[in-house]
Structure 1
Amino acid sequence: MGVIVQEQTGLFHLQSSDMSYLIQIVDGYPAHVYWGGRLKHRESMADLLIHTPAGAGLDRLPQEYPQYGSGDFRNPAYQVELEDGTRITELKYDGYRILKGKPPLTGLPAVYAEDASEADTLELILKDAYSGLKVVLLYTVFADRNVIVRSARLANEGKGGLRIRRALSASVDVTGKQDMEMVYLSGAWAREGNITRRPLIQGETRIDSKRGMSSHQFNPFAALVAKETTECHGEAFGFSLVYSGSFEAEAEVDSFGSTRFGIGINSFDFAWLLSPGESFQTPEAVMVYSGQGLGDMSRTYHRLYRTRLCRGKYRDEERPILVNNWEATYFNFDADKLVAIAEEGSKLGIELFVLDDGWFGKRDADNSSLGDWYEDRRKLPGGLADVAERINRSGLKFGLWFEPEMISPDSELYRKHPDWCLHVPGRRRTEARWQLVLDYTRQEVRDYIYDSLSAIFSSVPVAYVKWDMNRGLTEIGSADLPPERQAETAHRYVLGLYELLERITTDFPHILFESCSSGGGRFDPGMLYYMPQTWTSDNTDAVERLKIQYGTSLVYPVSAIGAHVSAVPNHQVGRMTPLDFRGDVAMSGNFGYELDLTKFTDEEKETVKHQVAFYKQIRGLVQKGDLYRLKSPFEGNESAWMFVSEDKGEALVFCFQVMAVPNAPRRTLRLAGLDPELEYEVQSGHRGERSIIGGDRLMNMGLPLAYEQKDYESRWFRLQALKPGKD
């Protein structure tokens, strides 16, 4: 396993325990040979080598990092402009290097290997002799994961300046596979995570973001699947970009049925000046192969991102159960009200109180004070330290909301530094939610934010931070960049954000950071590198959350999915759902509450006590177990999923019926991921009944399932494997 090279044939074989990826050097061009299930490496693999039709040229060659202008008329992976205005380069193979482990990417988040034995990295070196452009293609293959991690590093080794106009992280030409489909996540604010599946026909299928953030509309992820691929069967090829800015992902089917897929920084409104001696590193694309459907692909991403992308103290720790005051009070609160909610939470077993928006400056609505990160003494006479200590005395840790990337025109900071926002001289400054975006390309801006936040973290016992970002980038320009570098602003913004996050999370490792962007507007692997969980959506309605959480799990682990119980009628859709139903949906993620606990009835308090106590029993399994999606909320009235421990000795099943069904037929639910040789004690959370059923029966015959004749019904079942000889 690892990287095997056959220099005489120009073949590179990247091999893991269950996957192979083959590259061949053809006439000096790296060509894609194969990606799929593991192949034995043989001395002679001539039958696999690429032989292009005579006279076909580059337009028929399945390339690894294609160029435009020299015979290939499909979408290129990169394009560079020379000083004379020409845009023709031709990269040719110039050698390779193999490294143990996985090197970090300077200034960018990336998947990592904790030990060099976990992975091998291949560097393919390409050069354009005329311009001096050098491109190093990086491929990391993990020994025990069906994962290839790709990126590209472009360097200027010539004497003149180069301008990068396009630089994707990965490009793969899939040949010999007809009737492919593209699966991706689409949506909008409060409707994130919709699973969209589209057949690929001749032409282009594209998703992207031009918002300076990964966006609610499209997630930086897509999968190519066979037409017959389902949750459990068939091939899936996943592509996930570790990046938090504007991106593009595109599948192009040519006239011969071959599919070229590329993913990376959005080339729209992007350019990068590369002076002699400088280099540019693309973000990395994490490519996952599954021969057992979308579910297996998802679990590969989950394990990798949970343990080799997320970092720090909270990577492996169970996450706390929290209560957030936002939907309880909005901007209308004082210290006593916050403490009252916390004290009630303590009685119910909740572990963390989060003070959301409205605690700083003169913030009585969302039209002022962003950037003025000092407490409002009208609401908090004793300051943040006083309210935090009072909440700590009640038994809860203290968390705090920030929106550090934004500035309000009505703020002391803006009046002092009106040029600190992204803007173009002479153009209007587009406000969204009465706010502008700080120019994170500027070191002094990042230093101000670091100093403001670190002053609070050093004086207040903050255990958790919700880091919000509530609008996209407009008038993307920087007063700190020269004219020839203005098109670099959006990417430099992201690099500046990463630099700040690296600094602040390193200096305050005890704080659990949660990313947020009006919910899921920046739910991407780049942010997970710094913050191990994300507020999945501002939509807290339990019925809508079935789809949002199910869809998000296509690529992201449950440990990253923030999920809260909120009040009814729901504030986003007005729906009335039972507390049990809301709890079961939220317990399928990082669990918490977002309502006024002091308004609960005695009966509701007892329900919450049971929910909190139950989640403390199961959260290790929910947050670290393998997720199996059993019934899709996108396909009917029911939803179901389950969590299975690594040793298959424990499992938890959640089932949901949205609307009651009259005279319902007898139903069973086929489980997954169990050991067919083991017997399981099955506990029904609804009836309290216990039974012993074999893993083979649970997966092949199914679990009997019945709902009451009520709308919004949920069930859970807890499974424990019996030791041999126990009955």
Structure 2
Amino acid sequence: MHSSRPLHLARGGTSVIVDTSTAGLPSILYWGPALGECPAAELAALASASVPQRVSGSIDTPARLTLIPQESYGWQGTPGFTGQRGGGFLTPAFQVTNLTAGENELTITANDDDAGLALNVQLTLTEAGLLRQRLAVTNTGANEYEVRSLLAFFPLPDTAQEVLDHTGRHLRERAPQRHNLTTGSYHRESRRGRPGADATVLVAAGERAFGFERGRVHAVHTAWSGNHQYIVEQTPSGDRFLACGELLLPQEMSLAPGATYAAPDAFGSWGDGLNELASRFHTEFRGRPEHPGRPRPVTLNTWEAVYFDHNLPTLKALADRAARAGIERYVLDDGWFSGRRDDTAGLGDWFIDETVWPDGLSPLIDHVRSLGMEFGLWFEPEMVNPDSKLARDHPEWIIQTRGRLPVAARQQQVLNLAIPEAYDYVLTCIDDVLRTNDIAYIKWDHNRDLLEAADATSGAAVVHSNVVAVYRLMTELKERHPRLEIESCASGGARVDMGILRHTDRIWTSDCIDPIERLVNQKHTGLLVPPELMGMHVGGPRSHSTGRTHALSFRAATAIFGHFGVEWDISNLTAEELGRLGSWIDLHKRWRDVLHTGTTLHADLPDPSMDLRGVVARDKRSALYGYSLTGSSASYPPGRITFPGLDPTTTYSITPAAFDYEDQGQSGLAWVETARNGAPLAMSGRLLGALGVQAPVLFPEQSVLIEVRAQTPELDHTP
């Protein structure tokens, strides 16, 4: 028998109180800010005070929101676990058989011998203060059992009144949307075989009108790169919760006797404002052993410079200009492999095209390396063109239903990497290219959703098995090539999650690099992903995806905070233009350590046309902020901007770091003029956070950068 006393887990500024006396599985009574020391008697009183009343017209024993709520104990909301055996309806009634608790972890084993099922639940508070739930179910019966769903549940406080999640499309991922939390259930599902361009990176619920700096808010994320689901629900009895997990297709998770289904890790974060909530995810990423430890190389990708027009002289000249500007990594994009003259053929034939590269890639790679840059190469390992040798030789390796190919997308289909021979073929092809060339980086693309994702022979659903295969393929390539880094791209930002980022070193945030679109995209991708893992590039003056034209200062000031790079044909730039780009690259390098280790913050400004974001160093002695005007300001001049995240007791000087904008005939700003005269204004972090300074008058679609430095003599992260 296990103890039925309430348990208090505490770590990373977070407390979780678990009532182990509830029928079935334990129940989370509290999840939020650290509570400090909680005596056993006080915890017992809390558990007693949390028992709901029986009311008229209800079941005799009121149902509780447990870790895996079950209909067998009276729960009538979304169930935590569903499945069937032999086609019959089966509602398990799990009973706890073992419970092991520590200061920050709780492991629960529960069985239903009649149903032939064993459940394992692990709650962990990470060092970052995230609540991780790790769930698994084992078939202990004598015949096959089909798991239909296994979801992690996170309770919400009564103050949660408003929901935030994301939608989107290609070129506009992670567009925020909000609605009131009302009685009923709100479901977000991805059935695309990957998260998708319309996917949400998390679902958050908080106090009404919560923002980045204000309002208690909780959120959950599923660390999985395939089909998934998120649920926000309020029951008629007043229970509020977030739930998340993998979305399993019919017959996709049929367990043989003794087999186990381990659900993807589910993570929960909270904060007083979205800045604090996001910082817990960022801290979690940075604490992983696989997190990149060296400065993120400034990267040039050749796609928007040459597209499929590969020739050695052009690409060498582009490399020369890149090195002159300060680029540190040069990535050759799509078009280098056999038969790939456009996007209709060649995918799957991962052999260097001798008609384009008669001497192989070595002449270009050697030239790039001689200039002091790393070399990277584009692959799309999970895809195949029907017009390819691979498809002609092995049509049975293509995901399909009863010999019928799914509707094509970008003239391509999807390989079933769960087939061992297909997996080995792709692994061998990529390994051979890496082994025979000095390649430090793969841009790993994934340019279509999965439709009718079935095995060609058995007809079984294969989304889950292919996600697992991709993770294994990335792991094996990195084991064979220890210095290899991988970027996850999926039609831009259609595969952004903690699952893929366990195996990759950055994500391509969106195929759209228009700074207007990127300001929103990067802000909301950053609710989960720290900036050093987000590809942020400077494009050409005219955006290829929106047609808008912007000054270099606006494009660069938007991209500078992340893993900085260039997606632009710089071969035709004048010496002056290349020099200006080089100055932005130099500025990024000076601030790179702060930007990629500090705390990312966004200000809640009253005018939606005004955007202020920044990164404060870990010791809070320096910070870089970007202020942008995306449309005409409501007032003229636009009013004040404030600077969140500074130490309130420290005195800072505030100076313009990049103020390249058009003069509209206005007078100078006092704080800008004094800084330019060598005597920057000094203000406390408290005043800068509460009152700030007058924002400069900008035209719409302009940006400036502002640096803040502690005035005390101690050395810090200041670049």
Residue 458, structure 1, aligned to residue 435, structure 2 = yes
Contact kept, 8 Å, 2:213 with 2:274, in 1: the verdict is yes
For 1:396-545, what aligned pairs fall within 5 Å after superposition?
A: 396-479=373-456, 482=458, 486-487=460-461, 489-545=462-518
SS in structure 2 at match of 1:606 = helix
Letter of the aligned partner of 2:39 in structure 1? R
Between 62-71 and 533-542, the greater mean CA deviation after superposition: 62-71
Paired residue for 1:29?
25
Deviation at 1:10, TM superposition (A): 3.3
Deviation at 1:388, TM superposition (A): 0.7
Deviations 1:418-445 (A, max 9, x none): 1111111143432110100000111211
Deviations 1:216-243 (A, max 9, x none): 1112411121225322222111211110
Deviations 1:448-485 (A, max 9, x none): 111101111111111111000000111211135x46xx
Aligned residues: 689
For 1:204-353, what aligned pairs fall within 5 Å after superposition?
A: 204-269=185-250, 271-290=252-271, 292-308=272-288, 311-312=289-290, 315-353=292-330
Cα separation, 2, equivalents of 1:82 and 1:68: 17
Residue 652, structure 1, aligned to residue 624, structure 2 = yes
Paired residue for 1:664?
636
Contact kept, 8 Å, 1:220 with 1:247, in 2: the verdict is no
Contact kept, 8 Å, 2:381 with 2:444, in 1: the verdict is yes
Deviations 1:85-126 (A, max 9, x none): 232211111111247xxxxxxxxxxxxxxxxxxx84321111
Paired residue for 1:109?
none
Contact kept, 8 Å, 2:553 with 2:704, in 1: the verdict is no
Q: 1:274 to 1:10 in 2, by over 3 A?
A: farther
Q: TM-score, normalised by structure 1?
A: 0.91
Letter of the aligned partner of 2:534 in structure 1? I
Q: 1:663 to 1:43 in 2, by over 3 A?
A: closer
Residue 12, structure 1, aligned to residue 15, structure 2 = no
Q: 1:202 to 1:580 in 2, by over 3 A?
A: same
Paired residue for 2:153?
171
The two structures, once aligned, show a CA RMSD in angstroms of 2.2
Deviation at 1:563, TM superposition (A): 0.9
Between 623-632 and 465-474, the greater mean CA deviation after superposition: 623-632
Q: 1:700 to 1:220 in 2, by over 3 A?
A: closer
Letter of the aligned partner of 2:547 in structure 1? G
Paired residue for 2:113?
129
Deviation at 1:268, TM superposition (A): 4.7
Deviation at 1:663, TM superposition (A): 7.6
Letter of the aligned partner of 1:296 in structure 2? E
Deviation at 1:158, TM superposition (A): 2.5
Contact kept, 8 Å, 1:135 with 1:155, in 2: the verdict is yes
Letter of the aligned partner of 2:82 in structure 1? Q
* Aligned with 1:717 (options 699, 702, 706): 706
The answer for unaligned runs of 5 or more in structure 1 is 1-5, 100-118
Contact kept, 8 Å, 2:193 with 2:450, in 1: the verdict is yes
Paired residue for 1:700?
690
SS in structure 2 at match of 1:94 = strand
Deviation at 1:491, TM superposition (A): 0.7
Cα separation, 1, equivalents of 2:354 and 2:614: 47
SS in structure 2 at match of 1:218 = coil
Deviation at 1:26, TM superposition (A): 1.4
SS in structure 2 at match of 1:383 = coil
Deviations 1:156-200 (A, max 9, x none): 2222321111112x11343x6055222112111100121222211
Q: TM-score, normalised by structure 2?
A: 0.92
* Aligned with 2:143 (options 124, 147, 160): 160
Cα separation, 1, equivalents of 2:391 and 2:333: 22
Cα separation, 2, equivalents of 1:130 and 1:395: 66
Letter of the aligned partner of 1:125 in structure 2? T
Cα separation, 2, equivalents of 1:173 and 1:322: 42
Contact kept, 8 Å, 1:16 with 1:141, in 2: the verdict is yes
Residue 604, structure 1, aligned to residue 577, structure 2 = yes
Deviation at 1:270, TM superposition (A): 5.8
Paired residue for 1:74?
77
Cα separation, 2, equivalents of 1:532 and 1:29: 38
SS in structure 1 at match of 2:410 = coil
Cα separation, 1, equivalents of 2:584 and 2:574: 15
Name the % identity. Answer: 27
Contact kept, 8 Å, 1:679 with 1:692, in 2: the verdict is no
Deviation at 1:67, TM superposition (A): 2.3
Cα separation, 2, equivalents of 1:320 and 1:670: 31
The answer for unaligned runs of 5 or more in structure 2 is 660-671
Cα separation, 1, equivalents of 2:235 and 2:436: 60
Deviation at 1:713, TM superposition (A): 1.6
Cα separation, 2, equivalents of 1:189 and 1:244: 17
Cα separation, 1, equivalents of 2:108 and 2:186: 29
Paired residue for 2:355?
378
Deviation at 1:36, TM superposition (A): 1.9
Between 431-440 and 75-84, the greater mean CA deviation after superposition: 75-84
Contact kept, 8 Å, 2:220 with 2:242, in 1: the verdict is no
Contact kept, 8 Å, 1:70 with 1:88, in 2: the verdict is no
Contact kept, 8 Å, 2:2 with 2:99, in 1: the verdict is no
Cα separation, 2, equivalents of 1:354 and 1:12: 52
Tell me which stretches of 4 or more aligned residues in structure 1 moved more than 6 Å: none
